[in-house]
C-alpha cells in the first residue's frame, strides 16, 4: 500500500501563505506601535497605505481590544498610585459605613479593615458604574457616564468615547488618546450636556465627580441643563457659575436640618433665622464657649454637609486647593472661571478656616487670655458658618441654588444671592464673581 503524501494548505495554495505572512507582519507592526505607546493609537498614512480594506478591519479590531486593555491598565495603575492622597476621605466614609462606602465598593474599590484601598481597572469601573446607575434606577436624562478623550491630530477637534457604548471613530488612524488635556469651557459643556464626563489620568478626582453624579441625580439634571445653555451662551458669568458648581459646591444636608437646630449657638433658629440673631447669640458666648464651639465644628462640620463638587469632597484635596491659593500657580492665577480668591471664599463657605497653628492655639490657655483680635475674627467666622449651615439646610437647598445660578442672567433678589450677600457681603469676591452676567 502506497504511503499517502501529506499536503499543507500553503503548499497547495502558495499565495495563501504569502497573504498570511503579510497579515502577520501588518499585525506585528500594529502590536509594536501599541506596545510602544498606550496613550495613542495614531498611525501614519504610510502605515495604512499597504493595508487592504479587510486588513484594516482586522487591524482595527485588534487595535481596539488591545487599546482598551492598555488604557484600562494605565488608569488602574495611576489610580492606585494616587490613592494614598485620599486616605482621609476613605477613612471618613469607611467609618461612616454609609451610602458612599457602599457605592465605592460597588464600583470595584476594595477596602481593607485598616481602610486602605485598592482601585479597580478602568474597564471594571465603567461596567460597575453602569450597574450602579441601574441599581439606583436613575433615568437616562439624569445620567452622566465616564468617557475618555480623543483628539484628531489634523483638525485638533476632541471626541469623547464611552467605552462599551460608543463606537471608536472609523478613521481611527487620525485620532490620539489624550492624557490630562484641559478642555476649553465649550468642550466641557458639550460633553456634560451630552451625559459624558471626561476621565483624565490625574488620579481619583474624576472618580469623585462620578460618585456624586450617581448619588445626586437631581444635581446631574441641573448640570446638564446649565451646560446645554452654556454652549449657546458662553457668557463669562454663567461659565464661572458652572465651574463653581462642578468643582466647589457644598451645601448643608437637608436631612440634618432638625439635628442642626440642636447644636447651633442660637436657641430657636426656626423662629427667626436672620443673620443678626446669629451674631447676637455668638457674641454672647464667653471666650471659653467660643473656643469650644470652634472645636466642635472642626470635628463635626463634615457630617452636616453634602459635597456635590469633587474639589471639596476630600480634606486633603481642600488642603491642596489652599496651597494653590498661597502659590502663584497658573491653575488659579490665570483662571477666569475659578480665580484663587473665589476658591478661597468657597473654602471659607463651609470649611472652618483654622490653620494648624490656630488649632494648636485653641488648646492653649495663652491664646484664650491674650489673642482677643483672633477671638473676634473667630466669632465672625462662626456667625458666617452657622448662618450658612442653617439657611442652606432648608431655604437654600440644591434645587434653589441650581435654579438661581445655572442661568444666563441671575437675579440679585433671588434667595441664593440674598443668602450670599448676607454671608459674604455684596462687595465680596465670591458674590461679585457669581453674580456677573
Report residue 223 CA to chain centroid gap.
Answer: 13
Q: What mean pLDDT comes out for the span 295-305?
A: 84
353 in any annotated domain: yes
pLDDT, tens digit, 9 for 90 and up, residues 200-210: 766 678 888 99
Q: Quick check: 402 pLDDT over 50?
A: yes
What's the rounded Cα separation, in Å, for the pair 9 and 423? Answer: 83
Q: What's the domain count of the chain?
A: 1
Tell me: pLDDT of 221 over 90: yes
Tens digit of pLDDT for each residue in 20-62? 444 444 445 444 444 444 334 444 444 444 455 665 565 556 5
Which of 120-124, 231-235, 351-355 shows the lowest mean pLDDT across its residues? 351-355
Q: Which residues of 373-409 are buried (b: 16+ CB within 10 A; e: fewer)?
A: eebeebbebbbbbbbbbbbbbbebbbebbbebbbbee
Q: How sure is the predictor about 332, in pLDDT bands with cuts at 50, 70 and 90?
A: very low
pLDDT of residue 142: 96
Question: What is the distance, to the nearest Å, from the Cα of residue 291 to the centroid of all Cα atoms in its chain?
Answer: 34
What are the cell numbers at 106?
460597588
DSSP for 33-58? Answer: HHHH-SS-----HHHHHT--HHHHHH
Confidence of residue 262 (pLDDT cuts 50, 70, 90): very high
pLDDT value for 45: 43
Domain that holds residue 404: 250-435
Instruction: Report pLDDT for 288.
Output: 85
For residue 132, the SS3 value is helix
Query: Is residue 333 in some structural domain?
Result: yes
Above 70 in pLDDT, residue 374? yes
Structural domain contains residue 261: yes
**Measured at the alpha carbon of residue 301, what is the angle toward residues 300 and 307, in degrees to the nearest 5?**
130
Q: Average pLDDT in the 103-118 region?
A: 89
Is 70 within the bounds of a domain? no
pLDDT for 284: 94
Quick one: which of 128, 109, 130, 129 has its CA closest to 119? 109
Give the residue-averaged pLDDT of 95-114: 90
3-class SS of residue 151: strand
**Residue 403, pLDDT above cutoff 70:** yes
The pLDDT, as a whole number, for residue 202 is 60
Sign of the CA dihedral running 175, 176, 178, 181: negative
Assign 237 a pLDDT band (cuts: 50, 70, 90). confident
Query: Does residue 407 form part of some domain?
Result: yes
Domain assignment present for residue 167? The answer is no
Each residue of 179-205: b (16+ CB within 10 Å) or e? beeebebebbbbbbbbbbbbbbbebbb
Q: Which three cell numbers stand for residue 57?
A: 478591519
Q: Coil, helix or strand for 147? A: strand
The grid coordinates listed for 372 are: 482677643
Structure pTM?
0.76
pLDDT range class, residue 381, cuts 50, 70, 90: confident
Is residue 225 assigned to a domain? no
For residue 164, is it within any domain?
no
Average pLDDT over residues 67-71: 67
pLDDT value for 44: 44
Amino acid at each position: 500500500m502506497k504511503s499517502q503524501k501529506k499536503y499543507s494548505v500553503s503548499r497547495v495554495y502558495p499565495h495563501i501563505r504569502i497573504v498570511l505572512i503579510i497579515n502577520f507582519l501588518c499585525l506585528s507592526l500594529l502590536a509594536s506601535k501599541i506596545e510602544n505607546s498606550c496613550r495613542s493609537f495614531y498611525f501614519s498614512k504610510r502605515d495604512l497605505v499597504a493595508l487592504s480594506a479587510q486588513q484594516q478591519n482586522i487591524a482595527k479590531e485588534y487595535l481596539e481590544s488591545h487599546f482598551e486593555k492598555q488604557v484600562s491598565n494605565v488608569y488602574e495603575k495611576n489610580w492606585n498610585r494616587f490613592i494614598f492622597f485620599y486616605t482621609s476621605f476613605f477613612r471618613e466614609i469607611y467609618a461612616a459605613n454609609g451610602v458612599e462606602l457602599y457605592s465605592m465598593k460597588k464600583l470595584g474599590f476594595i477596602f481593607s479593615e485598616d481602610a486602605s484601598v485598592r482601585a479597580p481597572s478602568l474597564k471594571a469601573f465603567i461596567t460597575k458604574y453602569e450597574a450602579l446607575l441601574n441599581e439606583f434606577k436613575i433615568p437616562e436624562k439624569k445620567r452622566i457616564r465616564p468617557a475618555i478623550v480623543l483628539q484628531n491630530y489634523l483638525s485638533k477637534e476632541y471626541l469623547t468615547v464611552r467605552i462599551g457604548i460608543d463606537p471608536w471613530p472609523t478613521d481611527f488612524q487620525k485620532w490620539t488618546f489624550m492624557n490630562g488635556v484641559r478642555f476649553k469651557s465649550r468642550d466641557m459643556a458639550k460633553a456634560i450636556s451630552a451625559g459624558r464626563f471626561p476621565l483624565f489620568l490625574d488620579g481619583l478626582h474624576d472618580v469623585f465627580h462620578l460618585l456624586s453624579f450617581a448619588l445626586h441625580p437631581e444635581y446631574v439634571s441641573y448640570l446638564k441643563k446649565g451646560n446645554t445653555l452654556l454652549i449657546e451662551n458662553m457668557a463669562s458669568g454663567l461659565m464661572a457659575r458652572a465651574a463653581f458648581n462642578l468643582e466647589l459646591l457644598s451645601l448643608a444636608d437637608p436631612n440634618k436640618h432638625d439635628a442642626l437646630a440642636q447644636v447651633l449657638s442660637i436657641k430657636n433658629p426656626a423662629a427667626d433665622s436672620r443673620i443678626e440673631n446669629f451674631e447676637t447669640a455668638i457674641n454672647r458666648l464667653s471666650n471659653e464657649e467660643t473656643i469650644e464651639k470652634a472645636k466642635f465644628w472642626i470635628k463635626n462640620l463634615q457630617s452636616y454637609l453634602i459635597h456635590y463638587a469633587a474639589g471639596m469632597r476630600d480634606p486633603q484635596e481642600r488642603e491642596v486647593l489652599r496651597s494653590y491659593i498661597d502659590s502663584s500657580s497658573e491653575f488659579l492665577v490665570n483662571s477666569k472661571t475659578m480665580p484663587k480668591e473665589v476658591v478661597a471664599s468657597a473654602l471659607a463657605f463651609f470649611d472652618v478656616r483654622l490653620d494648624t497653628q490656630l488649632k494648636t492655639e485653641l488648646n492653649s490657655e495663652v491664646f484664650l487670655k491674650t489673642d482677643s483680635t483672633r477671638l473676634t475674627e473667630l466669632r465672625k467666622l462662626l456667625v458666617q458658618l452657622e448662618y450658612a449651615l442653617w439657611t442652606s439646610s432648608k431655604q437654600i437647598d440644591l434645587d434653589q441654588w441650581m435654579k438661581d445660578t445655572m442661568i444666563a442672567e441671575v437675579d440679585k433678589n433671588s434667595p441664593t444671592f440674598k443668602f450670599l450677600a448676607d454671608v459674604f457681603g455684596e462687595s465680596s469676591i465670591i458674590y461679585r464673581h457669581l453674580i456677573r452676567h
